[in-house]
Amino acid sequence: MAEACLLLALVGVAAYTALGGADLGAGFWDLTAGGAERGGRVRGLVQRSMSPVWEANHVWMPFVLVILWTAFPEFFASIMSTLYVPLFGVTLGIILRGTAFAVRGQAATLAEARLLGALFAASSVLVPFCLGAAVGGIASGRVPTGNAEGDAIEAWLNPTSIVVGVLAVVVGAYLAAIFLAADAARADLPDLVDAFRRRALGAGAVAGAVAIGGLVVLRDDARQLYDGLTSGAGLACVLASVALGGGTLALLVGRRLDAARWTSVATVACLVAGWAAAQHPDLLPGELTLDEAAAGDATLSALLVSLAVGAVVLVPSLLLLYRLTLRGTLDQSFEPLDQRFRPLSSDDHPGRP
């Protein structure tokens, strides 16, 4: 049962990495879009694509937290207390980002939108880096069991953490570029399709380079993790991820954007699976195994029952949301972000005297 709970948590992690990661990556493109005028169209597309789905995508994060603290309370307490610096960074980023994005839609002047946009975008880079750094700390065996037993700084400021943190930022940007290119194609905005296709190819190449370079770093810094990733199930996942990543690039070159959306998600899911396989059966390498960390059977079975019942309602609802989104039913009209703030004329309020 502990395996089943872990599997569900990993599904949540993969979903957050793919969907939440893409939203965070959209923030990265927002950040790097250039000045208000030049980046207006890019930001307009980001705003339009993210608005209906980002909350649902974000909820995967608390979903994972809840499974972890219910099914593996000791693991949860150990990582939260030792990795408190990056995880407070995550909370800070989440709150600034969510609020700034939610209210940017209501901003009335370019200066307001610029301030909120800068907050949104900067925190969109902070969150994946901090999460990646925390994962790096766990995977490289730097988090001991117990209440803040690990080194508060070294646990997340180390070669593995930096590699995983950078990889998280780049992978999010890569996913976002693919999703946004596909959205732009649906919205019939050929210039943005090209802009994001180029970004996707670039980010894909960088992500691949970071991943391969990262393996070299892991070899020295986290040997156990490296061995896990280069043998058995871990290796299979890594190879699948490489194949899917290559396939995605080919689809991008061939302009098959909707198919690339799916293969890119699968690429990321394989990465998460590879991490899990490399660490198995430890939750905290060398410290805490899955079975040691697991809650009692009564809790695990209650959790599984409620997750199963919940899934009956949740899965069709999620499918409905994504179907409506991908069909364009929830699409807002596209508006370059800087254009919204042109001076209002009497045409804008035809109903008013």
Partner 1 sequence: MLTGLVEAHALAGQTQALAGEAQPDLLWARELQALSFAVHIPLTCFGIAFPAMVLFAEGLWLRTGDPTYRALAKRWSKVMLIFFAIGVVTGTILSFELGLLWPEFMGRFGEVFGLAFALEGFSFFLEAIFIAIYVYGWDRLPPKAHLLAGVPVVVAGIAGSLFVISVNGWMNHPVGFDIVDGEVTNVRPWEALFNAYFWHEYVHMYLAAIMVAGFVVAGVYAAAWLRGDRSRYVRAGLVIPLTAAALAAPVQIVVGDWAAREVAAEQPVKLATFEGLSETTDGAPLTIGGWRRDDGTITGGIEIPRLLSLLAKHDPNARVQGLDSVPPDDRPGPINTVRFAFQTMVGIGSLLAALSVFYLGVWWRKGRLPRSRWFYRLVVAAGPLAIVALLCGWITTEVGRQPWVVYGILRTEDAVTHAGGLPWVFAVMVTVYAFLGAILVWLLRRLAARAPETEVPERIEAG
| Subset of 150-179 contacting partner 1 (CB under 8 A) | 152
Hey, what are 120's tokens? 């949104």
Question: Could you tell me which residues are beta bridge partners of residue 284?
Answer: 288
CB of 123 to partner 1, least distance (A): 10
59 part of the interface to partner 1, by CB under 8 A? yes
Q: Which one of 148-156, 165-173, 192-200, 224-232 is the stretch in contact with partner 1 (CB under 8 A)?
A: 148-156
Of 287, 292, 290, 293, give the one whose Cα is nearest residue 142.
Answer: 287
CB of 11 to partner 1, least distance (A): 13
Q: Which residues of 36-57 are buried (b: 16+ CB within 10 A; e: fewer)?
A: beebbbbbbbbbbbbbbbbeeb
DSSP string, 115-139: HHHHHHHHHHHHHHHHHHHHHHHHH
Residues 6 or more apart whose CB falls under 8 angstroms from that of 184 comprise: 45, 190, 192, 193, 195, 196
Q: How far is the CB of 88 from partner 1 (least distance, A)?
A: 6
Q: Does 241 sit near partner 1 (CB under 8 A)?
A: no
Taking contact as CB under 8 A, which single stretch among the options 187-195, 239-247, 278-286, 292-300 is the one that binds partner 1?
A: 292-300
Per-residue x/- track, 6-45, partner 1 (CB under 8 A): ----------------------------------------
Q: What is the DSSP letter of 295?
A: -
Stretch that binds partner 1, among 88-96, 174-182, 219-227, 236-244 (CB under 8 A): 88-96
Beta strand spans in the chain (E): 282-284, 288-289
Of 86 and 245, nearer to partner 1 (C-beta) is: 86
Of the candidate spans 34-42, 96-104, 161-169, 231-239, the one that interacts with partner 1 by CB under 8 A turns out to be 96-104
Is residue 308 near partner 1 by the rule CB under 8 A?
A: no
Sequence-ordered list of residues with C-beta below 8 angstroms from that of 166, at least 6 positions apart, any chain: 129, 132, 210
Instruction: At 319, list the tokens.
Output: 């499918």
Task: Please say which residue, 77 or 243, places its beta carbon nearer to partner 1.
Answer: 77
Is the four-CA dihedral 295, 301, 306, 310 of positive or negative sign?
Answer: positive
Size of the site for partner 1 (CB under 8 A): 72
Contact 124, 24 (CB under 8 A): yes
Alpha helices in 140-189 (DSSP H): 159-186
Under rule CB under 8 A, residue 249 binds partner 1: no
User: Binder to partner 1 among 97, 114, 142, 199 (CB under 8 A)?
Assistant: 97
Q: Provide, rounded to whole angstroms, the least separation between the CB of residue 124 and partner 1.
A: 13
The site map against partner 1 for 103-122 (x = CB under 8 A) is: x--xxx-------x------
- Name which of 231 and 317 has its Cβ closer to partner 1: 317
Phi-psi region of 327 (alpha: psi -120 to 50; beta: other; left: phi over 0): alpha
Q: How many Cα atoms are found within 13 Å in the side-chain-facing hemisphere of 111? A: 0
Q: Which of residues 315-344 bind partner 1 (CB under 8 A)?
A: 317-318, 320-321, 324, 329-330, 332
Q: Which residues contact 331 (CB under 8 A, 6 or more apart)?
A: 48, 186, 187, 325
Eight-class DSSP state of 148:
S
Site stretch for partner 1 (CB under 8 A), options 131-139, 146-154, 173-181, 254-262: 146-154
CB of 59 to partner 1, least distance (A): 5
- State which of positions 65-84 bind partner 1 (CB under 8 A): 65-67, 69-71, 73-74, 76-82, 84
Q: Minimal distance in Å, beta carbon 269 to partner 1?
A: 19
